[in-house]
Chains A and B, each alone.
Chain A
Amino acid sequence: MAQDNNHKPQVASLRVDDHTIQCSGAWTVMHLHGLERQIHGLHWPAAESIHFDLHDVSGMDTAGAWVLRRSMLQLEQSGRAVTVGGLTPEAETLLELVVDTGAGPGSVVKPPHVGMLEGVGRASAGHMAEHVGLIAFVGEMALAALPLIINPFRGRWRMVLHELAEAGYKAMPIVGLLSFLLGVVIAYQGGVQLRLYGASVFIADLVGISMLRELAPMITAIIIAGRTGSAYTAQIGTMKVTEEVDAMRTMGIEPMDMLVLPKVLGLAIALPLLTIYADIMGVLGGMVMSSAMLGVSPITFTDRLSVAVSITTIMIGIGKAPVFALIVATVGCYQGFLVAGSAESVGRRTTISVVQSILLVIVIDAVFSVLFSKLGI
């Protein structure tokens, strides 16, 4: 039945000849296109009985057999008797095979279509459940961390160190570069304005306060959300797909202990350190730009900086970092556990994880700003 590839197979077609349908060509999946169109626009003869003559058919596969079977079903439904002749023995078994599958109009089954209203409802309920789940996850995490407070030696500190290296040390080049550039940009944009008033020296106030208090913690958290939070989701998600998480549970290892806590702790240590580093690089960037463009020498700059920036400002900036770390690590891990089934789900959850943690970081930062201004710090 395999088609002979030395001869170019003829395209499948049929011709209505009184009450006989003359079929010809290769009725194989690669050559069916024309036939499908032809049948679509065909007026079947009105005769009581119709005969399919397949003497001239040079090859048939299951797709071809199905097209034949489909036409037969259609004709039989309209009350006509259908006979088939000229089949090779192979084609005959093939047709029997297709008939035996019971395939018919009802055999194409698709997942039920979800209407718009139902879609909105399901999405809302889904989001709701997800957010409630996040809160529950935070609770579970706190419970799992409780024994650690009583006996810190039980912790998996090696893994924490590993996370520290992965999320902290290895992120230094990108965090350093970006905060340096941010400092340069602020100094440049601010300096142009300040020079108009002859107040160039205040560039140290501008760069110092904006970097140390707001921008360095935020840019670091955003970079880490994209770099590390996504990695957490992808890692835990893939482990879920391959049942590694279940394997852990059966071995009596709590995934919370093994996968989540080291990551959260590691990031809670790494992010403040990275923020200090980003502070230094950002101010350095501002300083370089000030001396190059505004004629504010590094000595004047640092002099002014020590007056303008209080220790509170620095601490506020660094103090936000552990909170951001908790957000990024918790959301990253939680989304990882929500992965179900397929590779596609890993991708979707990773996207959600990054978007959600960046969003939460910025929202919480705004909350902090309001809070601090109320408190007058």
Chain B
Amino acid sequence: MAQAQSEREVVVEVRDVTTRFGDRVVHNGISLEVYRGEILAVVGGSGCGKSTLLREIVMLQQPTSGSIRVFGSEVTRQVQSKALDMRRRMGVLFQYGAMFGGLTVLENVGAPIREHTNLSHDLIDEIAAVKIGLTGLDPGTGALYPSQLSGGMRKRAALSRAMALDPELLFLDEPSSGLDPISADALDELVLHLKASLGLTVVMVTHDMDSLWRAADRVILLGEGRILGMGTMEQLANSDDPGVQHFFQGPRARAARLQHA
């Protein structure tokens, strides 16, 4: 598998990243790659720095040291104009949606398109409506304000916005948290479907064992500031490493595995 991967295009490359908040070491020399067209899941206990790593890759935060390259260019200490170019090629779904409260869903989804292209307002609205439809929402949802949406609808709406500019690289922060199992399943299906048809590369932070089995091509387990395990779900579940076993052998993990066996 390692040989096969080395031939694939690396979209994100994290090298020896160390992050410290005061005395607390969050990442202690983490290195990983994300290949084009794969769904990479980052897992780990709460507070192990999953979200921080994601924020560092999308240029919202700076690691203390180390290098992160996205599409082949360094994102730490990035110049503003260059960063904008790269941001257009990435979409981020935040854990709580982060929809703009003063805009309707349709306007929210259209916002990045309006900002970065000079298409007509009508076409932008239509494209936004298509994106809303893509995530399985009813067209009527477009007229609602984010505060009027349920949790699952807000996640979907936020996903439509993350995909507004058809990004090559999509980051999902806990996509299924706060969703009922049926919505969570549907969201996994949706991500898989979009990946297959749009050729997306997806990096997701998740706790959801079902998602890991169903959607992830490769899983990275973070803990104690380093990478405890990396590989397909199958490999990790059969790992002898005690740290990995501890995470993947809990009752929930086993139940999820049985379901997908």
The docked-state distance in angstroms from the alpha carbon of A343 to that of B165 is: 25
Q: With A and B bound together, what is the CA distance between A30 and B122 in angstroms? A: 16
Residue of A29, A94, A340, A341 near B198 (CB, 8 A) is: A94
Is the CB of A62 closer than 8 A to any CB of chain B?
Answer: yes
Q: 8 Å CB contacts to A: which residues of B188-223? A: 193, 196-199
Q: Which residue of B lies closest to A1 (CB)?
A: B199
In the assembled complex, B130 has its CB within 8 A of some CB on chain A: yes
B106 and A28 contacting across the interface, CB-CB below 8 Å: no
- Taking the complex as formed, is B32 at the interface, i.e. its CB lies under 8 A from any CB of chain A? no
Q: Is A47 among interface residues, defined by CB-CB distance under 8 A?
A: no
Query: Of residues B123, B145, B199, which shows the largest number of chain A Cβ atoms within 10 Å of its Cβ?
Result: B123
Task: Pick from B123, B133, B148, B165: contact of A36, CB below 8 A.
Answer: B123
Taking CB atoms, residues of chain B closer than 8 Å to A111 are: 104, 143-144
Q: Total A-B pairs in contact (CB under 8 Å)?
A: 115
Chain A residues whose C-beta falls within 8 Å of the C-beta of B141 in the assembled complex? 109
Cβ proximity bits A61-96 to B, threshold 8 Å, 1 near / 0 not: 111001100100000000000000000001001101
Also in contact, A107 and B134, with CB within 8 A (given A30-B117, A66-B127)? no
Indicate with 1 or 0, residue by residue over A84-118, a CB within 8 angstroms of chain B CB atoms.
Answer: 00000010011011100111001111111000000
Does B129 belong to the interface (CB within 8 Å)?
yes
Whether a CB of chain B sits under 8 angstroms from the CB of A313 is: no
B197 touches A103 (CB 8 A): no
Whether the pair A103, B126 counts as a contact (CB closer than 8 A) is: yes
| Cβ-based interface call for B78 (8 A) | no
- 26 A-B pairs in the complex with CB atoms less than 8 angstroms apart: A2-B168, A5-B71, A30-B117, A30-B165, A33-B119, A36-B123, A61-B166, A61-B198, A62-B127, A62-B131, A63-B113, A63-B130, A63-B166, A97-B193, A98-B130, A103-B130, A106-B139, A107-B139, A108-B106, A108-B125, A109-B129, A109-B143, A340-B147, A341-B148, A342-B146, A344-B101
Least CB distance from A47 to B in Å reads 26
> Cβ of A291 < 8 Å from any Cβ of B?
no
Within 99-123 of B, Cβ neighbours of A (below 8 Å) are at 100-102, 104, 106, 113, 116-120, 122-123
Min Cβ gap A214→B in Å is 40
**Cβ of A30: which chain B residues have Cβ within 8 Å of it?**
88, 116-117, 165
Q: For residue A112, which residues in chain B have a CB less than 8 angstroms away from its CB? A: 143
Q: How far is the CA of A342 from the CA of B144 in the complex (A)?
A: 13
CA distance A66 to B145 in the complex (A): 24
What's the tally of chain B residues with a CB closer than 8 Å to chain A? 45
List the A side residues contacting B142 at CB < 8 Å: 107-110
Q: Tell me whether B134 and A32 are in contact (CB under 8 A).
A: no
- Distance to closest chain B CB from A300 (angstroms): 60
User: Chain B residue with minimal CB distance to A342?
Assistant: B101
Whether the pair A109, B197 counts as a contact (CB closer than 8 A) is: no
Cross-chain contact B119 with A36 (CB below 8 angstroms)? yes
Bound-state CA distance A30–B146 (Å) is 27
| Chain A residues positioned under 8 Å from B120 (CB to CB) | 36
Interface residue? B242 (CB, 8 A): no
Establish whether residues A2 and B199, one from each chain, have CB atoms under 8 Å apart when the complex forms: yes
B138-171 interface mask toward A, CB cutoff 8 Å, 1 = contact, 0 = none? 0111111111100000000000000101101000
Partner of A110, one of B106, B147, B196: B106
In the complex, A100 Cα to B153 Cα: how many Å?
19
Contact B126 A29 (CB under 8 A): no
Q: Please, how many angstroms separate the alpha-carbon atoms of A63 and B134 in the complex?
A: 12
How many angstroms between the C-alpha atoms of A98 and B134 in the bound complex?
Answer: 7
Secondary structure dominating the interface of A: helix
Q: Is the CB of A29 within 8 A of B130?
A: no
Q: Which residues of A contact B119 (CB under 8 A)?
A: 29, 32-33, 36
User: Which of the listed residues B113, B198, B199 has the most CB atoms from chain A within 10 Å of its own CB?
Assistant: B198
Q: In the bound complex, how far is the Cα of B162 from the Cα of A185, in angstroms? A: 57
Q: Is the CB of B126 within 8 A of A343?
A: no
Size bracket of the A interface: 35 or more
Interface of chain B, main secondary structure: helix
Contacts of B140 in A (CB 8 A): 109
Least Cβ–Cβ distance between B189 and chain A, in angstroms? 13
B133 A107 Cβ-Cβ under 8 A = yes
**B72 (CB) vs chain A CBs: closest residue:** A5
Residues from chain B with Cβ under 8 Å of A28 in the complex: 166
- Whether B36 sits at the interface, judged by CB under 8 Å, is yes
- When A1-B198, A36-B120 are in contact, do A110 and B104 touch as well, CB less than 8 Å? yes
A345 within 8 A of B: yes
Asked if residues A103 and B129 are in contact (CB atoms below 8 Å), the reply is yes
CB closest chain-B residue, reference A111: B143
CB contacts (< 8 Å) of B196 on chain A: these are: 93
Complex CA distance for A103 and B142, rounded to whole angstroms: 12
Q: Mark A1-36, 1 if CB is under 8 A from B, else 0.
A: 110010000000000000000000000111011001
| B130 near A66: Cβ-Cβ < 8 Å | yes
- Residues on the A chain within 8 Å of B143, using CB: 109-112
Task: Give Cα A342 to B166, complex, Å.
Answer: 27
Q: Indicate if the CB atoms of B133 and A103 lie closer than 8 Å.
A: yes
* In contact, A108 and B126 (Cβ under 8 angstroms): yes
Say which residue of B101, B118, B166 sits within 8 Å of A341 (CB atoms).
B101
Measured between C-beta atoms, what is the minimum distance from B162 to chain A in Å?
Answer: 13
Q: Which of A32, A66, A109 has the most CB of B within 10 A?
A: A109
Q: Contact flags (1/0) for A33-53 with B, using CB distance below 8 Å?
A: 100100000000000000000
Residue of A nearest to B123 (CB): A36
Q: What chain B residues lie within 8 Å of A67 (beta carbons)? A: 123
Q: CB within 8 A of B197: which of A2, A94, A108?
A: A94
Interface pair B168/A342, CB less than 8 Å apart? no
A32 smallest CB distance to B (angstroms): 6
State the CA gap A109–B110 with chains docked (Å). 13
Most buried by A among B127, B142, B196: B127
User: CB-defined interface of B52-81 with A at 8 Å, one 1/0 digit per residue?
Assistant: 000000000000000000010000000000
